[in-house]
A and B are shown apart, each in its own frame.
Chain A
Amino acid sequence: MIDHILTLLIFFPALAAMLGFVVTKDSMRAYGIAVSFIEFVLSLWLWYAYDPMVSGMQFMESMPLIPAFGINYLLGVDGISLFIIILSTFFTMIGIASLTEKRHLKNLIITLLFLEMTMVGVFAALDAIVFYVFWELSLVPMLYIIGAWGGPLRIYASIKFFLYTFTGSLIMLVGMLFMAYFYNQATGMWSFSILEWYRLILPENFQLWLFAAFFIGFAIKVPMFPFHTWLPYAHGQAPTIGSVILAAILLKMGTYAFVRFSLPMFPDASVYFMFPIAIIAIIMIIYTAMVAYAQEDIKQVVAYSSVSHMGVIILGTFALNVEGVSGSVFLMLAHGVVSGALFLLVGVIYDRRHTKMMSEFGGIASVMPRYATIFGIMMMASVGLPLTINFVGEFLSLLGFYKQSHMITLTAGVAIIVGAIYMLSAYKKMFFGTVTNEANRNLKDVNRTELLGLIPLVIVAIWLGVYPKPVLGPINNSVESIIQLMHDKAQSPEAKERIPNLSDSSKIISMQEAH
């Protein structure tokens, strides 16, 4: 069973979703929680069985799909994808457990389970086509969630979300096809296996074009400035569960893909585009933080803060050294936990008051002290306070990029200031002061269902902030092998210089020979 754990992880929720159609409406919630819990336990088992000392792919599965073109059903996890998979299953579980939605609950849970399949699939896929299929499939449940359970502008928001990201991924698909073509030209064989592609050393000008093609697909997903405008609409209109999954997992697909595709496949292009991308990252960090500060809707604050944090992730990714990339991968998890929790928290207040405008609130802290406390913890985590999960990621990301450029890091470091500004002022508007709005006077504090979702997130946010080693260790090993691969593949002298050589640090194991 452990040999096929990834297949099981991917298709178990889908199968359960199919069976979910015959489950009665009343027991659907319990069914959903049970299924997502089993899935989560499975993913924990994956972690347990994962050998942290091996840097390469583990639990690899292969089955030919279209042998003529080298398209295989190829799965595997390494330290980078392992935890994002766990994060996906974790958040699906948390999301279903804390669902407060009343309308078409059954359909919603089935949709969520399908979404879980696509998310796990994206992070486990090692074949470009399989990856692409799951990548695109993930749009469908999300489109459905926003479009069916969303706010008043849901149709516009969902179509914008779908078309925007879809356009990007089509360009990415073209890039993939070209990559396969180049592989065919170089070796005479067809292959869509990412691991095979890693071995291919492309001339720099090819790399630049392919990098650009992949970049657009990923950048829209992340979303990077100036492709970010779908996000506020999607978050603004999506139901709580949609925002949670979108922020926690779906956005991570973009940054994950950068680490999985762009970096190891195009090391020279990565170095070539390092500074332009860093500039974009800085714009994302500062500009969207400012936009977040100007928002009147608490959910939009969190939405824009996501973009701002994604900027730090991008910066860490393009630091192209172990510290930075490990930090960015860790920050993906951290941001998933924190922004997911923040969206859940916004959902809590929205359920009570059916508004998200900050001007409607004020002084909530005295009415809902538990809520204020949890929100405060998560806000501080989002601001990047040490000993919370975000700090580890942000610290490492910025630390990594400092090696590449002092000035850019200094500018990007403004993130910790502007982040504090919008978060604290939003928190002040919501929670501090006296209760002025009568409607807020008798709000109920967070109930047990909501705590069920929030408490684990708080625990994770602090646990991984204090003791990130169990996660950071495997990430570090896999990132080291990627960085070493990049260094070995790099051709231009600048790239050789910018990407550190780790080969003296012995423990590198070739990507292909693991398992």
Chain B
Amino acid sequence: MELYLYIALFAPLVGSLFSALFGMSPKTNITGYIASGLLFTSFLSSLVLLNYVLGGHTVHVELMTWMATGDLYIPFGFVVDQVSVVMMMVVTIVSTVVHVYSVGYMDHDKGFNRFFSWLSAFVFSMMVLVMSDNFAGLFIGWEGVGLCSWGLIGFWYHKESATWAANEAFIMNRIADLGMLIGIFMIYWNVGSLQYDVVFAEIGNLPLVITTWIGIFLFIGAMGKSAQFPLHTWLADAMEGPTPVSALIHAATMVTAGVYLVVRANPIYDLIPNVGIFIASLGAFVALFAASMALVNRDMKRIIAYSTLSQLGYMFVAAGLGAYWVALFHLMAHAFFKALLFLGAGNVMHAMHDELDPFKMGGLRKVMKGTFIMMTLASVALAGIYPFAGFFSKDLILEVGFVEHHYIIYTVLLLTAGLTAFYSFRLVALIFHGEERYKLFGIHPHEAYKFMLVAMSPLLVLAIIAGSFKMTYYQLVTNLLPSTVYHVHNEVTFWIMTIGTQLFVISAILFAYKKYSNWNSVPDGTSKMENSFGYKLLWNQYYIPKFYEEVFSKPYLELSKIAWKQIDLKIVDATVDMIANAIYKTGENTRDIQNGNLSTMLRWMVFGLVVLLALAVAFTVGYNAVSA
């Protein structure tokens, strides 16, 4: 089994290095095939491992020592257990699909080889992240995915907005990583090890306050990667990257790393329910907050990004309330349908020549049948309609909120579910239904390559049927995670809740269809609604990016300039130069003494003699005075 573990882990790395070899040469399809093939190998190995783990075993290997000094011992250790194997499956499935898809999507791009190098490197980092058996290894993957995310968001580096977004994403993640690093330090100094098994065994013996702080700092790390408020702005901007990247990194895998961390560290969070409540509340808030921004946005990818953000909020609600397996389940289901949605959006973008505004599309269902079906089904899954994947995972989170008696959270999530359905179908309606507004812009859309659609189909299948794995999954992960069953005990309440939610969501969908499926004009910012305060607030993302710009970025640059020009040059350096100049000036001024005139020198000599004599007299007098 170790062999399969190593194959699953290192196949993407090999693919990445192979593509990197051709990184500077013009496009060669072979890199795409090799990278995809290796990803598929990785997927197969993961499948074998899943089968093995389903049999009740786990694999734990230690590749080699990484850091060892003093009492610190950090190996490159990898573990395939019930949780990580689920993540591995999610990662390898989605990334295989995305790789194959990218062969078509990046077909005309100059950086084709480079793209696959980055993409496979990302998968490798993600695998390290989920498979590591210690916090330091997790951190390697954590930073690794951050790096690849940087490289991929800024993939089209000639675009100013892309590189800016890449740097923003990296730096924001770094802020959170600091929190995570501190969490790791706390764990080390209090437990003496960073291995999961040791830490989780010992964590109960620590004072509660320390555990609380550990939980908080680790969660700060999770907030950055999963783009939780207030570190959420980078995710929407990250949509500057190529769409497969958004599908893989900013929907299915990397952004869920934060959830994975909380799930993985469940023995810690179990001890600190107060932090859990905070996480859940923040998650609920972000779910609503992000959904509200998605309502008005006119950028197809950003809408999906906000939806991702919103779904991450759901996951954190579940994780925060202790329903770790539910969080992980939603993570999995979400990965499938959200990746599908993004890839569909990618098809649309291709068809529309990188046009992102859904108001400029419309009626595309005629030319893009496959994409239309896939995106619609994905949206249905996202909305949580029975029997699609979203129903099983998302409704479960609502139930968790209800069962745990957090009714406010429940209400917020319910509302968000409606909003989700609305904005998802607003998007679908605007893109695929109504008049063919794109004709105004002289665009001739076409369906994507066949094999791209074929590549997407596994995701479609999974988005539809993932819910049916629920029991198998449940039995699998509850070997490791708390096995609480969340079920409303009262039969009547349960049915009212379920059917009520379904009706609410369906009505939201119908409303969206009604409002947008016959849209016939491109909004130009003059309508009454577009000038209302609420719309502007949402349109400008609650002015938060602007706020960050004004309060952090610009003052930091200003302060830096002051630090350099005013403090460093005018104070610190000037002080040094002043001392040097003082000495130099003294020399310059006393230079006249050395005028070469013997007579003057003799006078100075006598003067010195007098001074010395005076000193001798003074000291003698003084000495006598003291001794007497």
Contacts and interface: CB of A to CB of B under 8 A. Distances in A.
B158 A433 contact: yes
A164 B576 CA distance: 9
Contact of B181 (A287, A363, A366, A413): A413
A370 B185 contact: no
Contact of A291 (B154, B157, B188, B563): B563
A402 B190 CA distance: 11
Count chain A CB atoms within 10 A of each CB in B67, B175, B573 and give the residue with the most. B67
A294 interface: yes
Interface string B543-569: 000000000000011011101110110
Contacts of A398: 181, 185
B560 A472 contact: no
The size bracket of the interface on A is: 35 or more
Contacts of B465: none
Contacts of A385: 143-144, 147
Contact of B167 (A160, A396, A428, A472): A428
A476 B23 contact: no
Contact of A287 (B164, B556, B563, B575): B563
Contact of B560 (A291, A469, A475): A291
A386 B143 contact: yes
Nearest to B162: A432
A394 B99 CA distance: 35
A410 B175 contact: no
B69 interface: yes
B174 A420 contact: yes
A403 interface: yes
B68 interface: yes
A222 B559 CA distance: 25
A322 B188 CA distance: 14
Interface secondary structure of B, over-half rule: helix
Contact of A416 (B181, B189, B567): B181
B171 A424 contact: yes
A469 B568 contact: no
A413 B178 contact: yes
Nearest to B576: A229
B160 A433 contact: yes
B68 A294 contact: no
A290 interface: yes
Interface in A272-308: 287, 290-291, 293-295
A503 interface: no
Contacts of B66: 466-469
Count chain B CB atoms within 10 A of each CB in A225, A363, A385 and give the residue with the most. A385
Contact of A327 (B64, B69, B174, B188): B69
Interface in A339-382: 363, 365-366, 369-370, 373, 380
Contacts of B580: 160, 163
Interface in B323-353: none
Contacts of A432: 154, 157-158, 160, 163
B24 A399 contact: no
A410 B178 CA distance: 8
A480 B70 contact: yes
Contacts of B560: 290-291, 293-294
Contacts of A420: 170-171, 174
B139 interface: yes
A416 to B, nearest CB: 6
Interface string B53-75: 00000000000111111111000
Nearest to B558: A294
A67 interface: no
A174 interface: no
A380 B23 contact: no
Contact of A473 (B68, B158, B182, B557): B68
Count chain A CB atoms within 10 A of each CB in B143, B564, B572 and give the residue with the most. B564
B415 interface: no
Given A402-B185, A410-B182, A433-B160, A294 B561 contact: yes
Given A386-B139, A432-B157, A326 B69 contact: yes
Contacts of B81: none
A387 interface: yes
B69 A403 contact: no
A425 B163 CA distance: 9
B573 A229 contact: yes
Contacts of A365: 157
B560 to A, nearest CB: 4
A188 interface: no
Given A291-B560, A322-B69, A413 B182 contact: yes
Nearest to B178: A413
Contacts, number: 146
B111 to A, nearest CB: 9
B82 to A, nearest CB: 26
Interface string A161-187: 001100000000000000000000000
Contact of B70 (A290, A417, A476): A476
B158 A363 contact: yes
A392 B68 CA distance: 10
Interface string A411-435: 0011011001100110010011110
The size bracket of the interface on B is: 35 or more
Given A322-B69, A476-B70, A291 B139 contact: no
Nearest to B146: A385
B181 A321 contact: no
A463 B498 CA distance: 56
A420 B185 CA distance: 21
B177 interface: yes
A448 to B, nearest CB: 15
A416 B177 contact: yes
B563 A294 contact: yes
30 contacts: A225-B572, A226-B575, A228-B572, A229-B568, A229-B572, A291-B563, A293-B556, A294-B563, A323-B69, A327-B69, A365-B157, A366-B158, A373-B23, A373-B24, A410-B182, A420-B171, A420-B174, A421-B556, A424-B171, A431-B157, A432-B158, A432-B160, A467-B64, A468-B66, A469-B64, A472-B67, A475-B69, A476-B68, A476-B69, A480-B70
Given A326-B69, A476-B70, A369 B23 contact: yes
Nearest to A505: B71
Which 6 A-B pairs have CB atoms at the shortest separation, nearest pair first?
A: A322-B70, A229-B573, A294-B560, A402-B185, A294-B564, A432-B163
A164 B64 CA distance: 46
A477 B175 CA distance: 34
B143 to A, nearest CB: 5
Given A229-B573, A291-B568, A472-B68, A370 B24 contact: yes
Contacts of A58: none
A323 B192 CA distance: 12
A480 B573 CA distance: 39
A90 interface: no
A323 B68 CA distance: 9
A391 B140 CA distance: 10
B70 A321 contact: yes
A243 interface: no
Contact of B171 (A225, A369, A403, A417): A417
Contacts of A476: 68-70
Contacts of B185: 398-399, 402, 409
A409 B188 CA distance: 14
Nearest to B168: A424
B565 A294 contact: yes
Given A370-B24, A433-B160, 9 more contacts: A287-B567, A290-B556, A295-B564, A413-B182, A416-B174, A424-B170, A425-B167, A469-B67, A480-B70
A369 B158 CA distance: 13
B170 A386 contact: no
Given A229-B576, A402-B182, A433-B157, A294 B557 contact: yes
Contacts of B24: 369-370, 373
A395 interface: yes
A410 B185 CA distance: 10
A323 B158 contact: no
A327 B65 CA distance: 16
